[in-house]
Structure 1
Amino acid sequence: MTTAGTPGAGLRVLVVDDERPALDELDYLLRRDPRIASVRTCDSATDGLRVLREDDVDAVFLDIQMPGLSGLELAEVLGRFRTPPPIVFVTAHEAHAVEAFDLQAVDYVLKPVRAERLAEAVRRVIAGGERATSSAPDLQIPVELGGVTRFVDRASVTHVEAQGDYARLHTPTGSHLLRVPLSTLEEEWREAGFVRVHRSLLVAIAHVTQVRMDAGRCTVLVGPHDVELGVSRRNTRELRDLLVRRATR
């Protein structure tokens, strides 16, 4: 097997799914990613295993529930390869996440698959499956208060709130205004585990203590004081995806 992410070369990936619409959709989305060199598809785990024994691939995007050999069973077989390819499970079922990560899966993507979520899975394959938050360096943020500049550890920030063109950093001991737009922090702090839960709010996944669903409305509790924050409907699924991965690694 070749090493994923070889400089100057795109990834050669295999997609295995017994449902043709899902297989075609993954094929289409992956081919649009400039980091992907080629995509092969199979509609059964048995055919996928045959391809993997004959050809080199850099990653496998694998459904779980399939007739005959399941995705989890195929992953167990691949784990006995001399150099197993990275595996990304793509499934409609959350229940198998623990088993998937026990098999050293790089990522666990829930259907229906969104392009940006799949792009994140590709990034994880290239990065060798490391958790984004584990590789992010510690950072101190300079903030001004009464003409005095103080430094706040980013790791202590529980959430960030938009205030016009500025952003307010919230920590367990107080809040600080930063002269940076929320959109800029969203991009720059994504690797450190900050995710948008509302158009005016970022949350640090590491500080989420509870998720609540009430009549279709989602809220999260963050920090040692359990501050309750609303999650928009459009951001609820991404938040749940991230929390599932965090809980199972």
Structure 2
Amino acid sequence: MSGLRILVIDDERPALDELTYLLERDPRVAGVLGCDSATEALRVLQDLEVDAVFLDIQMPGLTGLDLAQVLSRFKSPPPIVFVTAHEEHAVSAFELAAVDYVLKPVRAERLAEAVRRVVDAGTPAPSGDAQIAVERGGVTRFVQRSDITHVEAQGDYARLHTAEGSHLVRTPLSTLAEEWAPAGFVRIHRSLLVSLPHIEEVRTESGRVSVVVAGQELSVSRRHTRELRDLLTRRSG
């Protein structure tokens, strides 16, 4: 793989220089270009194609979120990593399909993880699916796991929800959470799993986060909000 070309945007020169320095030390990075405003970055992107954009959020004029909205309309949007001192914009960043959300002050190890996620963003997810055996009225049938929108704990059982209905399986939610994590299922509550590809919206109100899956709003517990955020950032587009 050839090295990454990265565009860094931050209106504070010390932060811009530090981030540029750290990225240039990463062996996976071939070159870094810095801009001190989103407007300047747009001018650069008219003539230059980059592999990723690392940007601050709170900037004068066009903010980082504004710029991300513009970039999302590009024919081939570059992966975006937000680098900011403010955590309250995280949900908005996830809705824009950011690859990562790094908090300042930036540590070299954390930045290396963000670069890894940029590389992974260009790697297709496994396409294999699984068939889940369910019983109803003495008849065993098979449900595609990719059709399951969310899973609800019911004692030692779990209820699988699809667009067509629900099915009870004799497997604890904790077991499914572990086995189905590679397939994109994430725990949002001690009694709920959701399928990341089926999340239609992420909502936040008064500090509380919820997701909309198959038209149904499901609350995310505070304990699981960070895990959900981390997994959502790995989604590409």
> Matched residues, percent identical?
48
Find the residue that maps to 1:161 and give its secondary structure: strand
Contact 2:100 2:233 survives alignment (8 Å)? no
Matched with 1:105 is 79
Report the count of equivalent residues: 207
Contact 1:186 1:195 survives alignment (8 Å)? yes
Larger deviation: 233-242 or 165-174? 233-242
Find the residue that maps to 2:159 and give its secondary structure: strand
Normalising by structure 1, what TM-score?
0.57
Matched with 1:174 is 165
Q: Does 1:129 align with 2:113?
A: no
Normalising by structure 2, what TM-score?
0.59
Q: What is the alpha-carbon root mean square deviation over aligned residues? A: 4.9
Following TM superposition, by how much is the alpha carbon of 1:194 offset from its aligned partner in structure 2, in angstroms?
2.3
Matched with 1:222 is 213
For residue 224 of structure 2, the aligned residue among 224, 235, 239 is 235
Instruction: Please give the alpha-carbon distance, in whole angstroms, between the structure 2 residues aligned to 1:200 and 1:236.
Output: 14
Amino acid at match of 2:123: E
Amino acid at match of 2:222: R
Contact 1:136 1:191 survives alignment (8 Å)? no
Instruction: Please give the alpha-carbon distance, in whole angstroms, between the structure 1 residues aligned to 2:41 and 2:116.
Output: 22
Where relative contact order (Cα < 8 A, 6+ residues apart) is larger, the structure is 2
Which ranges of structure 2 fall in alignment gaps of 5 or more residues?
58-63, 81-97
For residue 57 of structure 1, the aligned residue among 27, 35, 43 is 27
Equivalent residue runs for 1:1-249 within 5 Å: 2=2, 43=18, 45=20, 51=24, 57-59=27-29, 67=36, 76=45, 87=52, 89=54, 91-92=56-57, 93-98=64-69, 102=74, 103-105=77-79, 108-112=99-103, 121=114, 124-125=117-118, 127=120, 129-132=122-125, 135-223=126-214, 226-236=215-225, 239=228, 249=237
Instruction: Please give the alpha-carbon distance, in whole angstroms, between the structure 1 residues aligned to 2:213 and 2:27.
Output: 41
